[in-house]
Amino acid sequence: MDRVSGNNWGREHPAVEKLVRRIAGDIRRCAVRQRPDIPDALIEELLDDVVVSVRDFAERQLSHIYKLVRIGLGLSAEKQLDRLLEMIVREARRFTNADGGALYIRDDEREVLDFAIVQNESMAVHMGGGGTPVTWASVPLYQPDGSENHRNVSAHCALTGMPVNIPDVYSAKGFDFQGTKDFDATTGYRSQSMLVIPMRDHEEEIIGVLQLINARALDTGLVGPFPDEEVEMVTALASEAAVAVTNMRLVRGLENLLNSFIQTIADAIDEKSPYTAGHILRVAAVTECLVEQINGATQGPFADVSFSAAEVEEIRMAAWLHDIGKITTPEFMVDKATKLETVFDRIELVRCRVEILKRDREIRRLKKELASGDNVGASATTEADHGDLDEYLRFLEAINSGGENLSEEGLQRIQKIAGVGLTIGGRPTPLLDANEVENLSIRRGTLTENERQRISNHVRMSIRMLEGLPFPRKLRRVPFYAGLHHEKLDGSGYPRGLTNGAIPLPGRVMAVADIFEALTASDRPYKRGKKLSEAMRILEQMVGDGKLDGDVCDLLVESGLVMQYARESLAASQIDDFEWRGRRYLVGNRQG
């Protein structure tokens, strides 16, 4: 019994060794009871042979199970589809010591099996995945007449869901191996044994076929048939692989769904407000460029910062969705070009009232003349009567644009004009109603405080809308990041009023991108785009006031992104030289 007790393998696999010893003991006792005349030496010799066979079989099975577990862990950890497919074929070949292997992916729409991976160790063939592209023709699942294609072994396997184990393809019946034979004739290779296994996912759907070529003996390297006991193991491996591929497809499908959702939202915003869509696109582009520069930094404040691929995707998605809440903001507020604009510019109503007031005056004058019979000086009187109204209208049209700071004198003049009355429909009506007075009295810009708050509320709506979406774990911070683009380091931002320590780097990057784009944008209906020098002066002032991250702004300038952005996105009239922290920069050439 030396082979039972003197083997180190038993100490590595104690459970199996215990089972082997139990089987050996049972066999010995049975033999002694049944044939007491058999010499002990013969029983021991026969018993040793049985024990070795049992141990070898158990060792192979346990080794296979360990390999399957290891391969399963590897498959579940792989995140790239091409590498996953390569791993499936490579591990299946190792598992069976096969010289070659191929993986087909089923295309239900085209009703074919497409080659995804082709490997052959002795021929040094590596196609698909990270290797050269696979140029071999797809295998049709159906004949031209619509019948199932059972001539090709891979198609047969995909259609029936049954594994096929062929000892020698040259003597196999029922399948067309002409393609295999042509390959052998061209390359000098000898295809012999073949194992074809369906890849069945968790829903019992066959998503592909795994094909292994030429099983080699571990000790001699000679090619022989694939052992029947390995078919079930390889089938289990193929199922693990199918589930891994399906899971990755599901993940990609969710990612594609999210990206399509983002595109749909962008289209909706573009339809409602083209300039808002342009703003989102440019902010996202600047944010992505800054993140790329941070990841590539080898010195300076960002040398130790490195965003993972998942974090980069998270920041990118947050940038694309940061203004999604503007969908809920009334269009006339988002695009409010003048102080009196709502659905239309109400300056037209004011013009109409002025015309009515002029006509009322004219009618009163004519009635007075008819009553007195005297029309001397009528023209001069009419011109004098209308002169003040024309002056009122010119003033209101000028301040309606919101381009200048409104003085205290201007506010008083608005109140005076509002006191002018006229009669419409038999009822007295002021030349300016209360809401028009409120809007015309805006000191600068075109928004009232209430409108400004409603527009600012788009950030809260963005957060609320995004928090309602079931983002996957790796994108869980998208709502948080998207809601940070109006926060300031000194706590003066909104909606949360966070300060520097509470604003992560992605939020600080988006804030810089958002303000830089807003300052230079020339497509806003309510303001002109600032010159580059003016925009950079404002950015530098905000850094000095402790509102924006100076390191991020420095990176924006020193990386050349400002100059690149100017050339690609600004009008020629906006592009000029600028200064940053005492250094002068020429667009296209940096000057220290």
Q: What's residue 177's pLDDT?
A: 93
* 8 A C-beta contact, residue 498 and residue 506: no
Largest Cα span, the chain: 159
How far is residue 322's CA from residue 319's CA, in Å, rounded to a whole number?
Answer: 5
Q: Is residue 454 part of a domain?
A: no
Q: What's residue 11's pLDDT?
A: 45
Check whether residue 50 and residue 148 sit in a common domain: no
Q: Is residue 315 part of a domain?
A: yes
Q: Which of 346, 352, 541, 370 is nearest to 440 (CA)?
A: 346
High-pLDDT (> 70) share of the chain, %: 83
Task: Give the SS3 label for residue 570.
Answer: coil
Q: What's residue 402's pLDDT?
A: 78
Q: Is the peptide bond before 495 cis (omega within 30 degrees of 0)?
A: yes
Q: What's residue 469's pLDDT?
A: 85
Task: Kindly calculate the radius of gyration of the chain based on its CA atoms and give it in whole angstroms.
Answer: 40
Task: Give the SS3 label for residue 325.
Answer: helix
Neighbouring C-beta atoms of residue 134, cutoff 10 Å: 17
Which H or E element spans position 127? strand 125-127
Q: Is residue 197 part of a domain?
A: yes
240-255 pLDDT, tens digit per residue, is 778 777 777 777 777 7
Check whether residue 509 and residue 392 sit in a common domain: no
- Per the model's pLDDT, the better-predicted residue between 39 and 377 turns out to be 39
Query: Tell me, what CATH number does 236's domain have?
Result: 3.30.450.40
Q: Is residue 464 part of a domain?
A: no
What angle in degrees, to the nearest 10, is found between the helix axes of 505-520 and 550-558? Answer: 60
Q: Is residue 333 part of a domain?
A: no
Q: What's residue 96's pLDDT?
A: 87
Which H or E element spans position 586? strand 583-586
Q: What's residue 545's pLDDT?
A: 95
Per the structure, the count of domains in the chain is: 4
Which H or E element spans position 590? strand 589-590
Is the pLDDT at 501 greater than 70? The verdict is yes
Check whether residue 573 and residue 507 sit in a common domain: yes
Range of the domain at 391: 347-446
Instruction: State the pTM of this model.
Output: 0.64
Instruction: Please report the DSSP string for 219-251 in residue order.
Output: TT--EEPPPTHHHHHHHHHHHHHHHHHHHHHHH
Check whether residue 357 and residue 490 sit in a common domain: no
Give the long-range contacts of residues 105-110, CB within 8 A, separation 24 or more. Answer: 105/207, 105/208, 105/245, 106/141, 106/158, 106/206, 106/207, 106/208, 106/209, 107/138, 110/138
| Percentage helix, strand, coil for the chain under 3-state DSSP, each rounded to 5 | 55, 10, 30
SS (H, E, C) 424-449: ECCEEEECCCHHHHHHHCCCCCCCCH
The two structure tokens encoding residue 250: 């599901």
Is the pLDDT at 143 greater than 70? The verdict is yes
Check whether residue 515 and residue 474 sit in a common domain: yes
Is the pLDDT at 484 greater than 60? The verdict is yes
Beta partners for residue 579, in sequence order: 584
Check whether residue 39 and residue 87 sit in a common domain: no
How far is residue 105's CA from residue 88's CA, in Å, rounded to a whole number?
Answer: 12
Query: Tell me, what CATH number does 312's domain have?
Result: 1.10.3210.10
Q: What's residue 546's pLDDT?
A: 95
pLDDT tier, 464 (very low <50, low <70, confident <90, very high otherwise) = very high
Burial class (CB in 10 A: 0-12, 13-18, 19+), 312: middle
Q: Is residue 530 part of a domain?
A: yes
How far is residue 110's CA from residue 138's CA, in Å, rounded to a whole number?
Answer: 10
Check whether residue 144 and residue 18 sit in a common domain: no
Check whether residue 49 and residue 164 sit in a common domain: no
At residue 538, φ and ψ (nearest 5 deg) are -70, -40
Query: What is the mean pLDDT of the segment spanning 269-292?
Result: 87
Neighbouring C-beta atoms of residue 195, cutoff 10 Å: 25
How far is residue 95's CA from residue 75's CA, in Å, rounded to a whole number?
Answer: 14
Q: What's residue 239's pLDDT?
A: 78
Check whether residue 58 and residue 90 sit in a common domain: no
Indicate the range of 66-70, 387-391, 404-408 predicted with least confidence.
66-70
Beta strands in 137-294 (DSSP E): 139-140, 164-166, 194-200, 206-216, 223-224
Q: Is residue 159 part of a domain?
A: yes
Q: Is residue 327 part of a domain?
A: no
pLDDT tier, 307 (very low <50, low <70, confident <90, very high otherwise) = very high
Residue-level length of the chain = 592
The two structure tokens encoding residue 590: 């940096």
Check whether residue 435 and residue 498 sit in a common domain: no
pLDDT tier, 348 (very low <50, low <70, confident <90, very high otherwise) = very high
* 8 A C-beta contact, residue 138 and residue 112: yes
Highest mean pLDDT among 332-336, 338-342, 579-583: 579-583
Is the pLDDT at 61 greater than 60? The verdict is no
Instruction: Please report the DSSP string for 476-538 in residue order.
Output: TTHHHHHTTTT--TBS--SSS--BGGGS-HHHHHHHHHHHHHHHH----TTSPPPPHHHHHHH
- Tokens 């990041």 label which residue? 481
Q: Which of 15, 123, 122 is nearest to 59 (CA)?
A: 15
Check whether residue 106 and residue 222 sit in a common domain: yes
Check whether residue 124 and residue 232 sit in a common domain: yes
